[in-house]
Amino acid sequence: MTAVTLNPDTQLQLNPDITFGDVDGEIIALNIQTGFFLNLNSSGSYIFGLFEETKPLTLAEIYQQVQDAYEVEPEVCQQEVKTFLERCLELGLIQPQIC
């Protein structure tokens, strides 16, 4: 997979080849093609829920919605969200918007 540089204008969407669901109160996201999966905590589950409602989302929109939902400093929010999304990109769970 080609490396993606994330910036506030980067538009992201769920990879259509993934499935996710609730297993014993935790969200599990699975890339069906690769077999990679990620067990999501509450904030990761919240971010995945954003993708269900509105696709695609810019990184700036994700930052703002997470900041609105959680009491977190903007710099901490941006670093944590970016790290999480980079991992999701690496596992093929999300992808840049395909034009």
pTM for this predicted structure: 0.86
pLDDT in tens for each of the 99 residues of the chain?
Answer: 557 789 999 999 998 889 888 887 778 999 999 998 899 988 898 998 898 755 789 999 999 999 999 989 999 999 999 999 999 999 889 999 865
Task: Determine the Cα–Cα distance for residues 36 and 4; give it in Å rounded to an integer.
Answer: 19
Looking at residue 75, its pLDDT comes to 94
Ranges of each domain in the chain: 11-15+41-92
Looking at residue 12, its pLDDT comes to 95
Looking at residue 69, its pLDDT comes to 95
Q: How far is CA 62 from CA 2, 23, 24, 30, 35, in A?
A: 22, 25, 26, 21, 26
CB 31 within 8 A of CB 15: yes
